[in-house]
Amino acid sequence: MQELQIPNGYFQLWNMYLIQQGIDFHHLDVLNPYKVNLEHVLRLPIDTQSPFSFFHTILQLTQTELDCPQLTMEMAKLIRPEHFGVLGYMATRSNSVAEALQYVMRFSRLVIDGAEVTPMHMQQQGNEIWLTWPFHHEKYAMLNEMTMASMVHLAKQIFPDQLQFLKIQMAHSAQMALYHYQKFYSCEVSFNQAYYAYVMSADSLSLKSGFADPSLTQLLLKQAEVAIALKPRYESVLQQIHSAVADYLKAHAEAPKIEHIASELHLSTRTLQRQLRDLGSSFKQVLECERMKQCEHLLQQDLSLTDIAFQLGYSGQSALARAYKQHSGQTLLQLRRQLK
């Protein structure tokens, strides 16, 4: 299995923080065995990727040497769009929170990539939007904290004084005093939960960005699509299930039953249900996610909403519209306008 890859922008953030503290990493004796590799990574383009294990080692040593348990949050305060590469610029230039989140879910592999990575899932619960992904291993706690803090801080730069998070949910245990989390996020933060989550008001999806640039976004979108196409194909269990559902939708123009997908993956239905439950997901969530992706693809073909609903296994246009609104917080009319 290929090792998890993280953006070199994270190494640049680490170096920026040290420079801000008046520290040259060459003068940290604890990093002596790694200095040649660090120099190499810091010379690479900021939007390329390097092994997570190396970054984890460097961060742990730095954290201990500087006696700074909140290191990830201090680094996150320095985040800029370029640290997330093309995806960072796309999010910054998006027209709304909803559009930015769609790009984040679609192109997350350009930031963190690996067989153990599970795409973020978005769903609406009442007047709340939940962005979730499952817990994999405690060894990724520092990476999850770094990424969550960086995304929140960048989001507040794009939508200043508007975007408010209601809750932050961590699947791992607290890595530092609770005071640091509460001060940084300014909202409820809980730990040892079933999955990771950002929670915000559904009204937040319609917030507009002062940096929106549709023309530039379209150019960046094409660049991101090319970069994703060049990525190696490897799949986790959840990604295999998503792929099987997506393939069935395209081939049969109807929604698959869980029994059929289980058979395709050479699993019993009960085993498939258990694996999804362990990953913090369900067959219904996977099916709806892939239906929505296919819906966006079909909308670009100028099909009627009735035809699209039929191809995705919905009873009619109104059922499709309700499902998309619940999934993304947007209406199909808003999506069609964006695609045009």
Alpha-carbon distance of 291 to 270, in angstroms, equals: 23
pLDDT for residue 178: 94
| DSSP string across 246-286 | HHHHHHHSSPPPHHHHHHHTT--HHHHHHHHHHTT--HHHH
Q: Is the pLDDT of residue 205 over 60?
A: yes
Q: Is the pLDDT of residue 233 over 70?
A: no
Confidence of residue 31 (pLDDT cuts 50, 70, 90): very high
Confidence of residue 327 (pLDDT cuts 50, 70, 90): confident
Tokens of 268: 């019993």
- On whether residue 288 sits in a domain, the answer given is yes
Confidence of residue 133 (pLDDT cuts 50, 70, 90): confident
List the CATH number of the domain containing 272. Answer: 1.10.10.60
Q: Is the pLDDT of residue 170 over 50?
A: yes
Confidence of residue 328 (pLDDT cuts 50, 70, 90): confident
Give me the mean pLDDT over the 164-171 stretch: 94
Confidence of residue 25 (pLDDT cuts 50, 70, 90): very high
User: How many domains does the chain fold into?
Assistant: 1
| DSSP string across 205-249 | GGPBPTT--HHHHHHHHHHHHHHHHTS-----HHHHHHHHHHHHH
- On whether residue 144 sits in a domain, the answer given is no
- On whether residue 292 sits in a domain, the answer given is yes
- On whether residue 58 sits in a domain, the answer given is no
- On whether residue 134 sits in a domain, the answer given is no
Confidence of residue 91 (pLDDT cuts 50, 70, 90): very high
Q: Is the pLDDT of residue 130 over 70?
A: yes
Q: Is the pLDDT of residue 298 over 70?
A: yes
Most confident of 55-64, 135-144, 155-164, 267-276: 55-64
Q: 240: domain range?
A: 236-339
- On whether residue 249 sits in a domain, the answer given is yes
Give me the mean pLDDT over the 214-234 stretch: 88
pLDDT for residue 76: 97
255-294 pLDDT, tens digit per residue, is 899 999 988 887 788 888 988 888 788 999 899 988 988 8
pLDDT for residue 339: 66
Q: What residue has token string 């003068």? A: 27
pLDDT for residue 23: 97
Q: In terms of pLDDT, which residue wins out, 241 or 190?
A: 190
Q: Is the pLDDT of residue 56 over 90?
A: yes
Give me the mean pLDDT over the 232-239 stretch: 70
**Alpha-helical segments (H) within the chain:** 8-20, 35-43, 52-66, 71-76, 85-93, 97-106, 141-158, 178-185, 214-229, 237-252, 258-264, 269-278, 283-299, 305-311, 317-328, 332-339
Residue % of the chain over a pLDDT of 70: 97
- On whether residue 130 sits in a domain, the answer given is no
pTM above 0.95, yes or no: no
- On whether residue 276 sits in a domain, the answer given is yes
CA 295 centroid distance within chain: 20
Alpha-carbon distance of 194 to 335, in angstroms, equals: 32
pLDDT for residue 1: 44
